[in-house]
């Protein structure tokens, strides 16, 4: 096909064959070698769009009850069926994306906002400060993540914000440990010593030299802890300690579904599938990101 040949020629004219590829092109080539990771990232992105565009995507109001449509199986009008109050399950699952994303992403933001500075200070200054922070972290880590989150929600009271805070605080020690460990190995590097020799202050060394070098490891950890946080929110809501009904959280939907397993099993299918697919996509993307950012992998 002459047209096709022309396109190829035009493209190679823009990028000469032996010209060094740009960083973006290199990055894309390495990403394209990992279809599962790429697929995961795409699905995460789709869920993000779903969360942002819920009012336009959802066919119905997630809170509107319809007494004539109670626990009806999947149909053309309600592709995912309806729940025990006649609400459209598809719309509820779509709106539930907002809650899950919010809880998953913001809780990890919070964990990083506390954990990274604490770990930086502990690893950078060592000494008494380090000992104090690390002993506190040890104790903190001794509480199982979920039990700590349950305890914190009990203190704070059940709501989406409080569940997010509780999950974030429960996830924090992981970031303190990780950051500290990374800082310990980075601060001995020659470029850090060099920056010091040039007279850079502590803050500058931490902010400009140490932090950028450990950022990718932290990013990977964040991507793989978000699915855990999403599942934790669903569990808290499932137990009645998170988002309160009638808000469409995937966890509360599963809680309601549990009573109708025999008569309306579809109530349990969709919210669970949504959690599973979102968590799986984050994990796939995170795994890919880990390999992708690994300098040994060129």
Partner 1 sequence: MIEYLIQRLAISAITLAVISLIVFTGVRMIPGDPARVMAGTEADEAGLADIREKYGLNDPIPVQYFRWVGLAIRGDLGESIRTRETVTKTVAKKLPITLELACLSILVALTIAIPVGVLSAVRRNTLWDYLANGLSLCGLSVPSFWLGIMLILFFSVRLGWLPASGFVSFFEDPAANLTRMIMPAFVLGTALAAVLMRQTRNSMIEVLSADYIRTAYSKGLAGRVVVFRHAIRNGLIPVVTILGLQMGALMGGAVVTEQIFVVPGFGRLIVESVFTRDYPLVQGVVLITASAYVLINLLVDVSYSLLNPRIRIKGAADAR
Residue from the set 29, 33, 64, 135 that interacts with partner 1 by CB under 8 A:
135
Should residue 22 be labelled a site residue for partner 1 when binding is judged by CB under 8 A?
A: no
Should residue 239 be labelled a site residue for partner 1 when binding is judged by CB under 8 A?
A: yes
- DSSP secondary structure string for all residues of 30-93: HHHT-HHHHHHHHHHHHHHHHHHTHHHH-SS-TT---GGGTTPPS-SSSTT-B-TTS-BHHHHH
Residue from the set 9, 262, 296, 298 that interacts with partner 1 by CB under 8 A:
262
Should residue 138 be labelled a site residue for partner 1 when binding is judged by CB under 8 A?
A: yes
3-state class percentages of the chain: helix first, strand second, coil last, to nearest 5: 75, 0, 25
Q: Which helix (H) or strand (E) holds 4?
A: helix 2-14
Q: Which segments of the chain are extended strands (E)? A: none
Should residue 272 be labelled a site residue for partner 1 when binding is judged by CB under 8 A?
A: yes
Q: Which of 266, 263, 267 is nearest to 255 (CA)?
A: 267
Should residue 191 be labelled a site residue for partner 1 when binding is judged by CB under 8 A?
A: no
The span from the CA of 86 to the CA of 153, in Å, is: 30
Should residue 142 be labelled a site residue for partner 1 when binding is judged by CB under 8 A?
A: yes
Should residue 235 be labelled a site residue for partner 1 when binding is judged by CB under 8 A?
A: yes
Should residue 284 be labelled a site residue for partner 1 when binding is judged by CB under 8 A?
A: yes
The span from the CA of 164 to the CA of 161, in Å, is: 5
Should residue 234 be labelled a site residue for partner 1 when binding is judged by CB under 8 A?
A: yes
Should residue 211 be labelled a site residue for partner 1 when binding is judged by CB under 8 A?
A: no
Q: Which of 118, 177, 111, 196 is nearest to 148 (CA)?
A: 111
Smallest separation (angstroms) from partner 1 to the CB of 237: 11
From residue 240, alpha-carbon distances to 22, 154, 161, 220, 255 in Å are 51, 11, 14, 31, 8
For the window 63-102, what string marks contact with partner 1 as x by the rule CB under 8 A?
A: ----------------------------------------
Should residue 139 be labelled a site residue for partner 1 when binding is judged by CB under 8 A?
A: yes
Stretch that binds partner 1, among 51-59, 72-80, 141-149, 212-220 (CB under 8 A): 141-149
The span from the CA of 125 to the CA of 280, in Å, is: 38
Q: By CB under 8 A, name the binding residues for partner 1.
A: 36, 135-136, 138-147, 150-152, 154-155, 157, 227, 231, 234-235, 238-241, 254, 257-258, 261-262, 265, 268, 271-272, 275-276, 279-280, 282-284, 287
């Amino acid at each position: 096909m002459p047209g096709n040949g022309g396109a190829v020629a035009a493209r190679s004219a823009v990028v000469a064959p032996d010209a060094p590829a740009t960083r973006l092109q290199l990055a894309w080539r390495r990403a394209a070698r990992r279809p599962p990771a790429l697929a995961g990232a795409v699905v995460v992105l789709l869920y993000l769009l779903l969360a942002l565009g819920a009012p336009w995507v959802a066919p119905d109001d997630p809170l509107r009850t319809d007494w004539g449509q109670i626990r009806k199986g999947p149909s053309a009008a309600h592709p995912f069926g309806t729940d025990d109050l006649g609400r459209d399950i598809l719309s509820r699952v779509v709106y539930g994306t907002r809650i899950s994303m919010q809880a998953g992403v913001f809780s990890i933001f919070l964990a990083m906002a506390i954990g990274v500075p604490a770990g930086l200070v502990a690893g950078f200054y060592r000494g008494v400060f380090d000992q104090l922070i690390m002993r506190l972290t040890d104790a903190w880590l001794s509480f199982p993540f979920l039990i700590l989150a349950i305890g914190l929600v009990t203190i704070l009271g059940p709501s989406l914000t409080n569940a997010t805070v509780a999950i974030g605080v429960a996830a924090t020690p992981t970031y303190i440990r990780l950051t500290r460990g990374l800082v310990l190995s980075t601060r001995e590097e020659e470029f850090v010593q060099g920056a010091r020799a040039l007279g850079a202050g502590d803050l500058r060394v931490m902010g400009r030299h140490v932090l950028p070098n450990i950022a990718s490891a932290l990013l990977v950890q964040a991507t793989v802890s978000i699915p855990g946080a999403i599942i934790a929110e669903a569990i808290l809501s499932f137990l009645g300690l998170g988002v309160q009904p009638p808000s469409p959280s995937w966890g509360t939907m599963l809680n309601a579904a549990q009573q109708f397993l025999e008569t309306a099993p579809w109530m349990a299918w969709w919210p669970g599938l949504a959690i599973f697919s979102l968590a799986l996509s984050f994990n796939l993307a995170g795994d890919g990101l880990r390999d992708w950012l690994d300098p040994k992998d060129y």
